[in-house]
């Protein structure tokens, strides 16, 4: 009902409609509606308070920021720190895995099919070991020279 009244009040004023539409959306969240429920109600609000495409993009960006703020307000500082640490650890593990994969590829190109023990050793190696072994690939004549 409120959306219908606002549609009449803001008719012909796209900027006022943008403000009104965003305000209505925020109220739905603040009153405890679930995301899926907000989306259902937005279908009706979109129809009543239609906006030009450029302003639709603007309200979408505003809502994304608002939803992020709402979600972040439920996350404690400890959880944010833990999440950040987890992301950093994941990135480090990914880099480590990439180094091991690259070293295995270089070894296979230089020495042919690798024994399983070598693959296992490389996959379990530290960053320092991988770096050392990668440097040795350029000058080593055998696998033994790399892992000595």
User: Which tokens sit at 56?
Assistant: 């639709």
pLDDT for res 142: 93
Domain count along the chain:
2
Mean pLDDT of 63-82: 67
Domain that includes residue 116, residue range: 92-147
Q: Report pTM.
A: 0.45
49/98 same-domain check: no
Cβ(35)–Cβ(42) below 8 Å = no
**Taking 70 as the threshold, does the pLDDT of residue 78 lie above it?**
no
With respect to residue 81, please indicate whether it lies within any of the assigned structural domains.
no
Burial class of 135 by CB neighbour count within 10 A (0 to 12, 13 to 18, 19+): exposed
pLDDT band at 4 (very low <50, low <70, confident <90, very high): low
Buried b (16+ CB within 10 A) or exposed e, 35-60: eeebeeebeebeebbebeeeeeeebe
Mean pLDDT of 39-60: 78
């Amino acid at each position: 009902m409120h959306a219908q009244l606002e549609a009449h009040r803001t008719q012909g004023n796209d900027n006022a409609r943008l403000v009104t539409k965003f305000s209505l959306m925020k109220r739905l969240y603040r009153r405890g509606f679930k995301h899926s429920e907000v989306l259902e109600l937005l279908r009706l609000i979109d129809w009543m308070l239609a906006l030009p495409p450029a302003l639709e993009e603007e309200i979408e960006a505003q809502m994304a920021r608002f939803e992020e703020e709402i979600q972040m307000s439920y996350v404690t500082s400890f959880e944010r720190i833990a999440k950040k640490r987890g992301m950093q650890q994941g990135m480090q593990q990914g880099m480590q895995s990439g180094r091991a994969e690259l070293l295995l590829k270089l070894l296979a190109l230089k020495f042919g099919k690798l024994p399983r023990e070598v693959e296992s050793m490389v996959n379990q190696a530290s960053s320092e070991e991988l770096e050392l072994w990668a440097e040795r690939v350029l000058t080593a004549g055998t696998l033994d020279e790399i892992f000595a």
